[in-house]
Amino acid sequence: MKTAKYTVIAALMLLWIIPSGAQSKGFRMGKWIEIQTALLQQLNMNYVDSLPIDRIERAGIDAMLENLDPYTVYIPEEENEDLQMMLNKSYGGIGAIIYKPDKNGNVLINEPYKGSPAEKYGLRCGDEILAIDGVSTHGLTASESSDRMKGKPGTKVTFKVKKVWTGDTVDVVVLRERIHLPDVEYYGMLNDTTGYILQTGFTENVAEDVRSAFLDLKSKGMKVLYYDLRGNGGGLLSEAVKIVSLFVPKGSTVVSQKGNNNSREMVYKTVMDPVDTRMPIVVLVNSGTASASEIVSGALQDLDRATIMGQRTFGKGLVQGIQPLPYNGQLKVTIAKYYTPSGRCVQAIDYAHRNEDGSVGHIPDSLTHEFTTVGGRKVRDGGGITPDDTLKAHSYSRLTYSLVVNGIIEQYAMKYVSAHRSITPVESSLKAYDNSPSTWFRFGDEEYSDFVQYAKGRDFDYRSSARALFDQMKEQLEKDGLAENMSSELEALRKALEMDKEQFLLLKKDEIIPFIEEEIAVRYFWQTAGIQVRLRYDDALREALTKQRLF
């Protein structure tokens, strides 16, 4: 009886403990909300100055979410259009990139999109926007100017424009449209049998665009596809599944996801008939290939349907969902991790510690797990998709990065356009590696000398990486009190590293010219021409073609 009594008491204690534990999370949540509410009330009543509620509200929300993962973010009502742009790359407007170097200056049309209202109504690179709907652009920021240009499709906006070549000032009335920026930015034949598709995102209907591009290339004689996902940051998981569906048998597993409850566990299989299950496919990836791009490349690798070439991918294996919040806000929240068909999770083991470019750092095999493709090949998890064949990553000098980041090349391209009404076509560069004589647009020596003189007059950091490191080292030595004793050695090293701006620009000529050619080409022949120019100098693609014996 005594034993039975203790058994009953133990059972009752267990029943009491379990609900208490189950309620602890809810209790802590309620406690936190109560403290937060009381704190705000006390601040509102007692703080010495007027309480900046909007600012501290947003700062508090952002700080809270920063303690989770990089992709869980709060989106207030005023940023919903940015969310829609992220999801489907569309907005209401005129379809042009603008440039405003000075808040008190005019807006410049930098680059109108092909087929956009801006192009249809005659706006072109270099045109100056003096006023928007009667409001002077002087005193407006670039963002404020852009907001005035945007609006509901079907509405009109009136610009006072100073034309780039004639100098005439005219009124231009533009009818806004729904502007959609395609994810398949380019496709074409690299040679008689090799097709190429460049995809830069995974927004709505991109799978259909890939399908159309593939069929068009196939009709032109494509026998091998190079599918370029380099720098593709991902997007909609559903579109990734549809793209894999194009190339594998119906019913194949593409990806699965697992969250913190059973309702988040799902397996995604192909539900459509494929367009081709045999044509050789090479998927090009790099450290900027992320999320949905990794789902596609990982699935095609696990199903032994494609050869993955390039560098290890970014390592984002997290799935986000959009949840509504009060006052039309939204929460983009990580709800699950996804897994490739072999069972790999591509999420980096620690997403808080990455290389400078955001990519996954070195992960020892002891921290990863081995998986097997359908064909029996060994693959590993631990962060990103490791390519089947590594391609050398192209590196650029600090000078070139500085020219790009500071907009020097972009600004020069606009100056170039104002002085040249036309350039030689670049369409011939579609066959990127044809060695026959061509009439491609080229930026020659004389023109580069003009660029050097222009860049010399611009204010930007032109130091070499070695000189920048030297300056950091010298500063640290001065802090440590060691610089004076090493003054002669430091001065000798400084002189050895010294190179004036013109010298450095001439030294890096071959590295800089491709960027200039691309910026100029897009302003005459749209983005397609810029990509064609880029292909001309794509060493990684050239290496991939060589390894496949296609070049």
* 82 catalytic residue (yes or no): no
CA 456-462-467 angle, 5° bins: 140
Catalytic residue, candidates 89, 316, 332, 508: 316
The H or E element containing residue 547 is helix 539-547
Interstrand relation of 96-99 and 370-372 (parallel, antiparallel or unpaired): unpaired
* d(C-alpha 462, C-alpha 369), whole Å: 45
CB 106 within 8 A of CB 129: yes
The H or E element containing residue 211 is helix 206-219
First to last CA, the chain: 89
CA 364-367-373 angle, 5° bins: 95
How far apart, in Å, are the Cα atoms of 390 and each of 374, 385, 498, 502?
Answer: 21, 11, 36, 36
Catalytic residue, candidates 183, 209, 302, 381: 302
* d(C-alpha 182, C-alpha 180), whole Å: 6
Q: Cα dihedral angle (54, 58, 64, 66), rounded to 10 degrees?
A: -160
| Length of the chain counted residue by residue | 551
The angle, 0 to 180 degrees and rounded to 10, between the axes of the packed helices 292-302 and 237-245 is 30
Alpha-helix runs per DSSP H in 95-191: 117-120, 142-149
What would you measure as the largest C-alpha separation in the chain, in angstroms? 107
* 302 catalytic residue (yes or no): yes
How crowded is residue 374: how many other Cβ atoms within 10 Å of its Cβ?
14
For residue 345, give the DSSP letter.
B
The angle, 0 to 180 degrees and rounded to 10, between the axes of the packed helices 509-536 and 408-419 is 70
* d(C-alpha 130, C-alpha 150), whole Å: 16
**Assigned token pair, 401:** 């990065």
* d(C-alpha 124, C-alpha 247), whole Å: 41
* 269 catalytic residue (yes or no): no
Catalytic residue, candidates 146, 252, 291, 297: 291
What's the order of all strands across the beta sheet hosting 184-189? 184-189, 194-199, 224-228, 281-285, 307-310, 389-390
Residues labelled as active-site residues? 291, 302, 316
